[in-house]
């Protein structure tokens, strides 16, 4: 090999180019991203966006990560030009860099075996999440999602039944005298899933324009009509 | 296997490979040049100026800005803030909370948030003295009259400003309201009893 330094320089330049493009430039552009105010429509007040996840949701993110949920679920609403996510009502708007300000790590996911979860908190509730985790087929018939029953505990009913016990149809019901309650991990995961909502309109993705008013403008009233008394 | 015997697995003629010199064909340079030119054209059209605020489907910052709801009151609030920070903040404080027991708050005040701006326009124009109840607290002080200092436009601006700050979120005040209140030509220092007799709108 007679041109080692040249080869090294070529490899170095190639790596440096991609590092500049994929690491340095985004860091310079978005590294200083902070919370912003949402764009408001009408009389609403501007909100700070995004908000940090509450503690239980933060713990739930670790459960989400540990169980490999991101292998089948994404957390990103694609822009209108790149798919039908918005038509499926998976989000009010496309995902932006701000949405992931407090996600550590960002679990965008790579493929969609299941639906996108970027806005799952907007369309689900704790009980629905527990049922889906215990038996995914209950809510979505034919779901290929595996059940996560180890997040639940089957235990003997004590003095009173737990208010958190799952209400299940017959094929999933526990034996008489027993109840199925979510473990803390399931509650944390539910808190995390409920915290997934990218519903603040931001400057980069403003709300859709309001429909044009169809009210008759006052100056277009027929000339014969008398002006309304003030 | 006998390891003592030297092996001659490599042909003596197979020397270390050496990179030779040959010129790049001119057509390759032309093709790369054209590709580079096309890619720059593409980026100029579609990259949104590499602005961090420009996401698809918007091609440029101007189009994002145009798609955002326009705020025709923004300029008036800025002007109002200037008036507020020159005059009003001394008593009502930059937080709009006033001073407990001495100067009434503007944040969340039912006087400020009233549906029309008639009464607060009177207060700013003619001042106020004597007892007044704001947010359930009694105040008894004197506010100066500002009708000689500021014109209708400026007073409407500052009223619009205080109605939009510190959690207040009420409609802007039209300068016509201030003009009408000024045309009444009252004496200074209206009392809160007088104010309560006035129409809210």
* pLDDT at residue A224, as a whole number: 46
Per the listing, tokens 């991203």 go with: A33
Would you state the pLDDT for residue A3?
Answer: 84
Cβ distance B64 to A204 less than 8 Å, yes or no, reads yes
Q: Which residues of A touch B (CB under 8 A)?
A: 1-3, 29-30, 39-41, 43, 45, 79-82, 94, 96-97, 203-207, 209
Interchain CB contact of B53 with A (< 8 Å) = yes
B47 and B127: one domain?
no
Same domain? For B140 and B188 the reply is yes
Q: Which of A106-115, B52-61, B64-73 has the lowest mean pLDDT?
A: B64-73
A68-125 pLDDT, tens digit each = 999 999 999 999 888 899 999 899 999 999 999 999 889 999 999 999 999 999 999 9
Domain range for B104 is: 74-197
Contact B167 A45 (CB under 8 A): yes
pLDDT, average across residues B13-23:
77
Please report the pLDDT score of residue A221 as a whole number: 45
Instruction: Please state the domain extents for chain A.
Output: 33-208
Domain termination residue (choose one: B10, B41, B67): B67
Q: Are residues B92 and B179 in the same domain?
A: yes
- How large is the average pLDDT for residues B132-138? 81
Task: Judge whether residue B21 has pLDDT over 50.
Answer: yes
Confidence band for A230, pLDDT divided at 50, 70 and 90: very low
Q: Does residue B100 have a pLDDT over 90? A: no
Write out the two tokens for A102: 């407090």
pLDDT at B6: 57
Q: With contact defined as beta carbons under 8 Å apart, do A154 and A174 qualify?
A: yes
Higher local confidence (pLDDT), B147 or A67: A67
First CA to last CA distance, chain B: 108
Closest CA to B126 of B174, B73, B198: B198
> Distance (Å, rounded) from C-alpha A179 to C-alpha A161?
7
Q: CB under 8 Å to A106, separation ≥6 — which residues?
A: A75, A100
pLDDT at residue A178 in the model:
93
Q: How confident is the model at residue A217 (pLDDT cuts 50, 70, 90)?
A: low
CA distance B58 to chain A (A): 9
Best mutation target among A205, A208, A209 (most B Cβ atoms within 10 Å) is: A205
Give the helix, strand, coil percentages of chain A, each rounded to 5: 35, 5, 55
Contact partners, residue A57, CB within 8 Å, separation at least 6: A188, A191, A192, A194, A195
In tens, the pLDDT along A157-194 reads 989 989 989 988 888 888 889 999 999 999 999 999 99
Please tell me the predicted confidence (pLDDT) of residue A223. 47
Question: Looking at the domain assignment, is residue B167 inside a domain?
Answer: yes
SS3 per residue for B135-186 = CCEEEEEEECCCCCCCCHHHHHHHHHHHCCCCCCCCCCCCHHHHHHHHHCCC
- Is the residue at B173 inside a domain? yes
* Tokens at A51, concatenated: 């908000």
The Cα–Cα gap between B104 and B166 comes to: 14
Q: Would residue B4 count as lying in a domain?
A: no
Q: What is the mean pLDDT of chain A?
A: 87
DSSP annotation of B101 reads: T
**Predicted pLDDT at A54:** 85
In-domain check, residue B186: yes
Residue B76 φ/ψ region, left for φ over 0, alpha for ψ in the -120 to 50 degree band, beta for the rest: alpha
pLDDT of residue A43: 55
Chain B partners within 8 Å of A1 (Cβ): 16-19
The stretch B143-157 carries a mean pLDDT of 83
Give me the phi and psi of A186, to 5 degrees please: -65, -40
Do B36 and B81 fall into the same domain?
no
* B62, two tokens: 């101007």
Give the residue-averaged pLDDT of A123-143.
92
- The pTM of the whole model exceeds 0.80: no
Determine the residue among A7, A24, A28, A204 to mutate to test chain B binding: the one whose Cβ has the most chain B Cβ atoms within 10 Å.
Answer: A204
Query: Are residues B46 and B111 both part of a single domain?
Result: no
Give mean pLDDT, residues B132-153: 81
Same domain, B30 and B127: no
Cβ contacts (< 8 Å) between B69 and chain A: which residues? Answer: 39-41, 206-207
Is B130 part of any domain?
yes
**A155: its two tokens:** 């235990």
Q: List CB contacts (< 8 A) between A3 and chain B.
A: 19
Cβ separation A1–B18 shorter than 8 A:
yes
User: ipTM of the assembly?
Assistant: 0.72
Gap between the Cα atoms of B158 and B165, Å rounded? 11
CATH topology of domain A33-208: Cytochrome Bc1 Complex; Chain D, domain 2 (1.10.760)
Chain center to CA of A74: 9
Q: What is the pLDDT of residue A39?
A: 82
Q: What is the pLDDT of residue A37?
A: 82
- pLDDT of B133 strictly over 90: no
Q: What percent of chain A has pLDDT over 90?
A: 58
In chain B, the number of structural domains is 2
> What CA–CA distance (Å, rounded) separates A86 from A71?
22
A193: distance to nearest CA of chain B, Å? 26
CA–CA separation, A202 and A40 (whole Å): 9
In A, which residues are within 8 Å of B169 by CB distance? 43, 45
**pLDDT reading at B188 higher than 60:** yes
Position B80 scores a pLDDT of 80
C-alpha torsion angle, residues A154, A160, A165, A166 (rounded to 10): 100
Interchain contact B19–A (C-beta under 8 A): yes
Closest CA to A199 of A33, A8, A41: A41
Of B38, B67, B96, at which residue does a domain stop?
B67
Name the CA dihedral angle for A24, B60, A94, A22, rounded to a multiple of 10 degrees: -10
Chain B positions in Cβ-Cβ contact with residue A9 (cut-off 8 Å): none
Percentages helix, strand, coil for chain B (3-state, rounded to 5) are 40, 10, 50
> Is residue B1 scored above 60 in pLDDT?
no
* Inter-CA distances, B28 with B25, B32, B33, B38, B111, Å: 6, 6, 8, 15, 77
Interface test with A, best of B55, B60, B199 (most A CBs within 10 A): B55
Do B92 and B60 have their domain in common?
A: no
Task: Judge whether residue B19 has pLDDT over 70.
Answer: yes
- Residue B74 pLDDT class (50, 70, 90 cuts): confident
Question: Based on the domain organization, do B98 and B63 belong to the same domain?
Answer: no
pLDDT band with cut points at 50, 70 and 90 for residue B174: confident
Which residue from A45, A79, A97 is facing B56, i.e. has the nearest CB?
Answer: A79
Task: Note whether residue B81 is domain-resident.
Answer: yes
Q: What percent of chain B has pLDDT above 90?
A: 9
More confident residue, A12 or B149: A12
Closest residue by Cα to residue B163 from B122, B201, B115: B115
Residues B120 and B63 in one domain: no
Residue A140: HSE in the Cβ half-sphere, 13 Å Cα cutoff: 14
> B19 and A207 in contact by Cβ < 8 A?
no
> What is the 3-state secondary structure of B16-60?
CCCCCCCCCCHHHHHHHHHHHHHHHHHHHHHCHHHCCCCCCCCCC
Q: Identify the domain boundary among B52, B67, B82.
A: B67
How many Å lie between the alpha carbon of B11 and the closest alpha carbon of chain A?
Answer: 18
């Amino acid at each position: 090999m007679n041109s080692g330094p040249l080869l090294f320089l070529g490899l170095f330049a190639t790596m440096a180019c991609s590092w500049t493009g994929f690491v340095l430039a985004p860091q310079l552009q978005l590294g200083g991203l902070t919370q912003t105010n949402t764009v408001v429509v009408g009389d609403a007040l501007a909100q700070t966006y995004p908000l940090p996840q509450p503690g239980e949701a933060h713990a739930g993110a670790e459960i989400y990560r540990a169980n490999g949920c991101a292998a089948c679920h994404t957390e990103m609403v694609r822009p209108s030009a790149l798919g039908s996510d918005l038509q499926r009502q998976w989000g009010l708007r496309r995902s932006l860099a701000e949405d992931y300000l407090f996600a550590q790590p960002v679990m965008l996911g790579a493929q969609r075996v299941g639906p996108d979860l970027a806005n799952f908190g907007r369309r689900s509730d704790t009980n629905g999440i527990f049922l889906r985790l215990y038996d995914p087929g209950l809510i979505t018939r034919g779901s290929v999602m595996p059940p996560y029953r180890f997040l639940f505990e089957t235990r003997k009913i004590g003095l009173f039944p737990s208010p958190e016990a799952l209400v299940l149809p017959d094929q999933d019901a526990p034996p008489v005298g027993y109840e199925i309650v979510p473990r803390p991990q399931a509650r944390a995961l539910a808190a995390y899933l409920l915290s997934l909502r990218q519903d603040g309109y931001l400057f980069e993705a403003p709300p859709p324009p309001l429909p044009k008013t169809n009210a008759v403008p006052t100056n277009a009233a027929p000339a014969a009509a008398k002006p309304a008394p003030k | 296997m006998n390891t003592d015997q030297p092996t001659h697995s490599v042909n003596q003629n197979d020397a270390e490979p050496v990179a030779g010199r040959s010129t790049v064909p001119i057509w390759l340079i032309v093709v790369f040049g054209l590709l580079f030119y096309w890619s720059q054209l593409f980026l100029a059209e579609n990259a949104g100026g590499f602005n961090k605020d420009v996401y698809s489907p918007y091609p440029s910052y101007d189009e994002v800005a145009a798609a955002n709801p326009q705020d025709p009151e923004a300029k008036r609030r800025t002007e109002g803030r200037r008036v507020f920070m020159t005059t009003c903040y001394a008593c009502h404080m930059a937080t709009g909370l006033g001073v407990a027991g001495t100067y009434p708050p503007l944040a969340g005040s039912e006087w400020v948030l009233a549906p029309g701006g008639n009464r607060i326009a009177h207060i700013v124009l003619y001042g106020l003295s004597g007892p007044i109840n704001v947010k359930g607290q009694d105040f008894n002080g004197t506010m100066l009259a500002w009708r000689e200092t500021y014109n209708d436009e400026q007073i409407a601006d500052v009223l619009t400003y205080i109605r939009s700050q510190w959690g207040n979120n009420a409609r802007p005040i039209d300068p016509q309201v201030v003009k009408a209140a000024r045309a009444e030509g009252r004496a200074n220092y209206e009392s809160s009893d007088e104010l309560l007799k006035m129409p809210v709108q």
